[in-house]
Chain A
Amino acid sequence: MIRFIYKRLLGAIPSIFGLSIITFLLIQLIPGNPVLTYLRVSNIQASEEIVQALRVEMGLDQPLITQYLQWLTNVLHFDFGTSFISKRSVLDEMVLHFLPTLQLTTVAFLLIIVCSIPLGVTSALHKGKWFDRLTQLFAFSSVSLPTFWLGFLLIYFFSVQLDLLPVLGKGSVVHFVLPATTLAIGYIGTYLRLIRASTIEVLEEPFVLYAQARGLKERTIVWRHILKKAASPTLTGLGMSFGNMLGGTIIVENIFAWPGMGQLLVESIVNQDYPMIQACVLLLGIVFFLTNLIVDILCGWLDPRIRLAGDRIK
């Protein structure tokens, strides 16, 4: 097991490099001169000397590779520079906005697990019946719903018409209900189908027939035998979507005025606050990457075949 984790960590190094290179190169995409953009955003009149001095100060006169190494060193020291707009440290702003995003994603993630597993397993057990048809319909619709529209629909029905839930902002527990539901619904559809498919596959295995022949209760068979076997592919997918949801929160946060990373990112894009954009992308990328890594390791722990796959070839 330790060997497996060690190998996975080693294999992750190129990905981390890729992540940093892409994020660094993003800055190179800015049309025109970054110095002029900085001056314009800061409302400073651009003169020849100021531009030259800033170029040297920002290290833009250096070759690209030196710039990259300098940037990487700074990042490794948690120095992401200062925001063009608020002139505060980018790190401080990010820490402030990261926690709400993490909370929202976690709540939505739990919602996905709680809803999709029972629905998926039940519809697999009643394959072809009306319940199965209904969940299939729900699965197809939920994947096709635009998040931004769904958010407004929920606000309209639950806050405006029924006046049950608060609309915007973040405060108590009830503030989580609408944003987390909006974020989760599309994924519930996806995982419901995934869990249904893998459960149907497992149902045809001989060990299920054997368990039935032994006269075990259906509940025992489902919980002890089927779920355990069907969990592995689901887990991989779920882990990957935890990172993907960080991308999905961008829209949800902007609908519900949720003070998280997504709002910060879009605000920075509108304000052309490049250091902030870069840092947000890097942070979200790292979280995405880490969740995938953790899922990988968890799968190896659950299923020895994955853990030993590499060794057997040797």
Chain B
Amino acid sequence: MKTFRQHSILIFSATVLVLFTAVAIFAPFIAPNDPNYVDLTQKLQPSSKDYPLGTDHLGRCQLSRLLFGARTSLSTAFIVMSITFCISVPIGIFAGYMGGIVDTWFIRICDMLMAFPSFLLSLAFVGMLGPSYGHLILAMVCVQWVFYARFIRGMVLSVKERSFVMAARICGTSPFKIAIKHIVPTILASVIVLLFMDIGGVILSISGLSFLGLGVQPPYAELGMMINDSKPYFRSHPMLMMYPGLIIFLVVISFNVFGESLRQWLQVERRL
């Protein structure tokens, strides 16, 4: 009975996520208007046939901007997570497998980067580099990879001592081949679960930075930036602020629920 409930939650959240992803991918086909088309004669309109959710302060179609905003947020999070994955897996395995001086220096660098609250550090990176989309991704990756690399290193340390790795070493398998054929498959499930559990937080950070004006830059639509744009109008037009926030909330909670039920399903240890 309990497993059925868990599975149904997993499947439900996965369905919601697939739906959001599909909307994000096909946004150019679904959107009724050009999200960046400014028409000041149409500003702050209520919903109508042409503009299903009305228009914002520059007369841009709110629904189209929401669709494209979700597209930006999701794709940015996806890019950040992919780069983080590609960087942290080799580094974590390398540090864990080599041990010795490599590992010591790895831990030192991790300690340095983890000595700051992560949002502060990405904010500082963006602040110094100057706000732009590329710098946003760079800053997010710089902060994220440490946690994964360190987690992977810890797992590699224990996998390294398991008998099948020992056997492979005795057979004279090269370290590179051991890493690819034995270590990666063993740790992959845990790493992917972690990625899914964290992606919600990453989306929140991206839209948080964009909200402060330091992430995605205009004219591209992003959900956090849309909330910032609607700030001056939120007494008279509260809906301009409600929709983007609601979408962020739904996307993030789906990822969190999905990650948590995936973790329970695959029985991966919770990270401290």
How many residues of A are in contact with the other chain, CB < 8 A? 47
Taking the nearest CB of chain B, how far is it from the CB of A282, in angstroms? Answer: 10
Residue of A27, A143, A150, A281 with highest tally of chain B CB at under 10 A:
A281
Q: Which residue of B lies closest to A268 (CB)?
A: B127
In the complex, the answer to whether B117 meets A288 with C-beta atoms within 8 Å is yes
Interface residues on B, range: 35 or more
A284 and B124 alpha carbons, distance in the complex (Å): 11
Q: Does B27 count as interface, using CB distance less than 8 angstroms?
A: no
Q: Does A211 count as interface, using CB distance less than 8 angstroms?
A: no
By a beta-carbon cutoff of 8 Å, the part of chain B in contact with chain A is 108, 111-113, 115-121, 123-131, 200, 204, 207-208, 211-214, 224, 227-228, 231, 234-235, 238, 241, 244-245, 248-249, 252-253, 256-257, 260
In the complex, the answer to whether A152 meets B227 with C-beta atoms within 8 Å is yes
Stretch at the interface among A176-184, A201-209, A215-223, A242-250: A242-250
Q: Which residue of B lies closest to A17 (CB)?
A: B112
Taking the nearest CB of chain B, how far is it from the CB of A61, in angstroms? Answer: 21
In the complex, the answer to whether B129 meets A29 with C-beta atoms within 8 Å is yes
Q: What residues of chain A lie closer than 8 Å to B260, measured between beta carbons?
A: 140
In the complex, the answer to whether B120 meets A22 with C-beta atoms within 8 Å is no
Q: Does A145 count as interface, using CB distance less than 8 angstroms?
A: yes
Q: Does A277 count as interface, using CB distance less than 8 angstroms?
A: yes
In the complex, the answer to whether A19 meets B112 with C-beta atoms within 8 Å is yes
A160 and B235 alpha carbons, distance in the complex (Å): 7
In the complex, the answer to whether B130 meets A31 with C-beta atoms within 8 Å is yes
In the complex, the answer to whether A274 meets B249 with C-beta atoms within 8 Å is no
Q: Other than the known A14-B111, A144-B252, A285-B116, what 15 A-B pairs have Cβ atoms closer than 8 Å?
A: A22-B121, A30-B128, A140-B253, A144-B200, A144-B253, A146-B249, A148-B224, A149-B249, A150-B245, A246-B117, A247-B123, A248-B119, A250-B119, A268-B127, A272-B130
In the complex, the answer to whether A251 meets B212 with C-beta atoms within 8 Å is yes
Q: Mark A261-277, 1 if CB is under 8 A from B, else 0.
A: 00001101110101001
Taking the nearest CB of chain A, how far is it from the CB of B111, in angstroms? Answer: 6
Residue of A160, A247, A248 with highest tally of chain B CB at under 10 A:
A247
Q: Which residue of A lies closest to B107 (CB)?
A: A14
In the complex, the answer to whether A22 meets B113 with C-beta atoms within 8 Å is yes
In the complex, the answer to whether A146 meets B245 with C-beta atoms within 8 Å is yes
Q: Mark A100-115, 1 if CB is under 8 A from B, else 0.
A: 0000000000000000
Q: Mark A3-33, 1 if CB is under 8 A from B, else 0.
A: 0000000000011001101100011011100
Contacts A18-B112, A144-B256, A246-B120; is A152 near B241 (CB within 8 Å)?
yes
